[in-house]
């Protein structure tokens, strides 16, 4: 397996969708390729960062919602 093949199928590896045989090829490549180990870890970190940073903005209750927007939305039902 080349590094390109490893990276091309990384999403299946990450999602646990490889067959046993494919998984063994991936694991064998990781054993001998520190560059791909580094790539895999940074790929996982990237996904984690995306999920994490937006999870922090999920609070919602703490954000300031313009009163004009709330009033406009409530006014619709009053019509």
Partner 1 sequence: MSAEKESSWIEGLRAGDSDSYREVVESTIGKLLVVARRYLNEDDARDAVQDTYLKLLSSIEKFRGDSSLLTWLQRILINECLMRLRKQKNRHETSIDEYLPSYLEDGHRVNPQPVWPDNYNTVLTREQRCNQVQENLMKLPEDYRLVIMLRDIEGFSGKEAAETLGISLAAVKVRLHRARQALRELLEPLMLEEAGDL
Q: Is residue 67 within the footprint of partner 1 (CB under 8 A)? A: no
Q: Is residue 69 within the footprint of partner 1 (CB under 8 A)? A: yes
Q: Is residue 21 within the footprint of partner 1 (CB under 8 A)? A: no
Q: What are the Cα distances from residue 45, in Å, to 25, 28, 31, 34, 79?
A: 23, 22, 20, 16, 50
Q: Is residue 77 within the footprint of partner 1 (CB under 8 A)? A: yes
Taking residues 29 to 48 in sequence order and writing x for each that binds partner 1 by CB under 8 A, - otherwise, the string is ------x-xxx-xxx-xxx-
Residue 13 makes CB contacts below 8 A (sequence gap 6+) with: 23, 26, 40
């Amino acid at each position: 397996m080349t590094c390109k093949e490893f990276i091309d199928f990384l999403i299946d590896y990450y999602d646990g969708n490889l067959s046993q045989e494919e998984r063994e090829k991936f694991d064998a490549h990781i054993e001998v390729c520190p560059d791909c180990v580094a790539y895999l870890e940074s790929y996982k970190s990237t996904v984690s960062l995306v999920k994490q940073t937006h999870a922090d903005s999920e609070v919602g209750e703490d954000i300031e919602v313009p009163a004009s927007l709330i009033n406009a939305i409530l006014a619709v039902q009053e019509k």
